Structure 1
Amino acid sequence: MQNHPQHKHPQPPLPEQQQEMPGYTDKMDPRPDHGEESYRGSGKLTDRVALITGSDSGIGRAVAIAFAREGADVVISYLEEDEDAQETARWIEKAGRKAVLARGDIADENFARSLVQRTMDECGRIDILVNNAAHQATFEKLEDITAREWDLTFRTNIYAMFYLCQEAVRHMKPGSTIINTSSINATSPSPTLLAYATTKGAIANFTSGLAGLVAERGIRVNAVAPGPIWTPLIPSTMPAEKVKQFGKNTPLKRPGQPAELAATYVLLASDESSYTTGALYEITGGRPML
Structure 2
Amino acid sequence: MNTGLEGKIVLVTEAVRNFGGITALGFAKEGADLLLASAATDEMLEQSAHQASEMGAKVVTVQCDPSDQGQVDALVQKCLSEFGRIDVLLNNPLLPSEARSLEDISFDQWREKMDLEITGSFQVCQAVLPQMVRQEWGRIISYGGLAGFRGSDAMTSASELGIIGLTRGIAREYGKYNITANCICPGGVEGAGQSHPHSFPPGERDPLPRWGTPDELAFLAVCLASEDAGYVTGQCLLPNGGKYFL
The two structures have a TM-score, normalised by structure 2, of 0.91
1:174 maps to a residue whose letter is E
Give the corresponding residue for 1:71: 31
Q: Which residue does 1:187 correspond to in 2?
A: 149
Query: Does the 8 A contact of 1:107 with 1:160 survive in 2?
Result: yes
The answer to whether 1:208 aligns with 2:168 is yes
Q: Which amino acid aligns with 2:83?
A: C
User: Does the CA-based 8 Å contact 1:248-1:254 persist in structure 2?
Assistant: yes
Q: Structure 2: how far apart are the matches of 1:215 and 1:124?
A: 22
Once the two structures are superposed, what CA deviation does each residue of 1:37-60 show, in whole Å capped at 9, x if it has no partner?
xxxx97630100010112124311
Q: Pick from 216, 220, 234: which aligns with 1:260? A: 216
Structure with more of its chain in helix, by fraction: 2
* 2:201 aligned residue (237, 247, 254): 247
Match of residue 86 from structure 2: 126
Aligned positions of 1:99-138 closer than 5 A: 99-138=59-98
Match of 1:59 among 9, 16, 19: 19
Residue 232 of structure 1: how far off its partner (Å): 4.8
SS at match of 2:90: strand
* Length-normalised TM-score, structure 1: 0.78
Residues 252 and 190 (structure 1 numbering): CA distance in 2 closer, same or farther, change over 3 Å? same
Percent identity of equivalent pairs: 29
Higher relative contact order (CA 8 A, sep 6+): 1
- Residue 171 of structure 1 aligns to a residue in which SS? helix
Distance 2:11 2:144 in 1: 17
Say what the alpha-carbon RMSD is for the aligned residues. 2.0
Once the two structures are superposed, residues 145-165 of structure 1 have per-residue CA deviations (whole angstroms, 9 ceiling, x without a partner) of 111111111111111111111
Most deviating of 145-154 and 104-113: 104-113
Tell me if the contact between 1:49 and 1:127 (Cα under 8 Å) persists in the aligned partners. Answer: yes
Runs of 5+ unmatched residues, structure 2: none
Secondary structure of the 2:150 match is coil
Residues 144 and 261 (structure 1 numbering): CA distance in 2 closer, same or farther, change over 3 Å? Answer: same
**Alpha-carbon distance between aligned partners in 2 of 1:119 and 1:50, rounded to the nearest angstrom:** 9
2:237 paired residue number: 281
Letter in 2 for 1:155: D
Structure 1: how far apart are the matches of 2:245 and 2:119?
24
Which has the higher mean CA deviation after the structures are superposed, 88-97 or 251-260?
Answer: 251-260
Gaps of 5+ in 1: 1-40
Cα deviation per residue 1:145-193 (whole Å; 9 max; x = unaligned)? 11111111111111111111111111111221111112111111223xx
Equivalent residue, structure 2, for 1:219: 179
Question: Aligned partner of 1:154: which letter?
Answer: M
Which runs of 4 or more aligned residues in structure 1 lie more than 3 Å from their structure 2 counterparts after TM superposition? 41-44
**Alignment length (residue pairs):** 242
How far apart are the structure 2 equivalents of 1:261 and 1:51? Answer: 17
Deviation at 1:123, TM superposition (A): 1.5
Match of 2:120 among 160, 166, 174: 160
Structure 2 CA distance for aligned equivalents of residues 253 and 134 of structure 1: 24
Deviation at 1:246, TM superposition (A): 6.3
Deviation per residue, 1:205-234 (Å, 9 max, x gap) = 211121010111111111111111123524
Give the AA of the match of 2:110.
W
Sort the Cα spacing of 1:95 and 1:57 in 2 relative to 1 into closer, same or farther, 3 A.
Answer: farther
Moved more, 104-113 or 45-54: 104-113
